[in-house]
Amino acid sequence: MATAKPVSTYQTQQVLTRPKEELPLLLYGGAIRFINQSLQAIDKGDKQEAHNSNIRAQDIILELMSTLDMNMEISKSLYSLYEYIQHRLVQGNIAKDKVQLEEARGMLEEMRDTWAEAVKLARKERGVVNE
C-alpha cells in the first residue's frame, strides 16, 4: 500500500485547511460513502466488508454526536437524529438490511444538503464568494 500514506496526508490536509463550518459536510460525505460501500458489499455477499464499512459510518456518526454543544437547543434535536441514524446503522449491520442502511443514508444526504445550503447562505450574508 504505497499510496496509503499520501492519501491519508491529503485527507488530513483537506480537513485542516477547510473552513470550520464545512467540517460537518466532510463528515456527512464520509458517512454516506461508507454506507454506500456497505451496501455494495452486501450486494456482493461480502459480510465482513459490509460490517467494516458500516462500523466506519457509525464511527462518523458518533463523532458528530460527540462534537455537539448540548447547551444549544438545536444540538438536542441533532443528537436525537444522529441517535436514530446510529440505531438504523446498527440494526442494518446486524441484519445486513439494505432498507435500514438506505434510510440512514437518505437522512444523512438531506442533512448534508441542508448544511451545504446553510453554509452558502451564511457566506452570502458575510459577502464571501469562495472560501
CATH number, domain of 57, equals 1.20.120.340
**Res 63: pLDDT:** 97
User: pLDDT-derived band of residue 97, with 50, 70 and 90 as boundaries?
Assistant: very high
With contact defined as beta carbons under 8 Å apart, do 74 and 39 qualify?
A: no
The boundaries of the domain holding residue 105 are 32-118
The residue among 101, 110, 103 whose CA lies nearest residue 38 is 101
pLDDT at 32 over 80: yes
d(CA 26, CA 62): 14
More confident residue, 15 or 103: 103
0.95 exceeded by the pTM? Answer: no
3 assigned to some structural domain = no
59 assigned to some structural domain = yes
**Residue 45: C-alpha distances to residues 31, 61, 96 (Å):** 21, 25, 10
**Res 54: pLDDT:** 99
6 assigned to some structural domain = no
pLDDT at 19 over 70: yes
**Res 88: pLDDT:** 99
User: pLDDT-derived band of residue 72, with 50, 70 and 90 as boundaries?
Assistant: very high
**Res 7: pLDDT:** 57
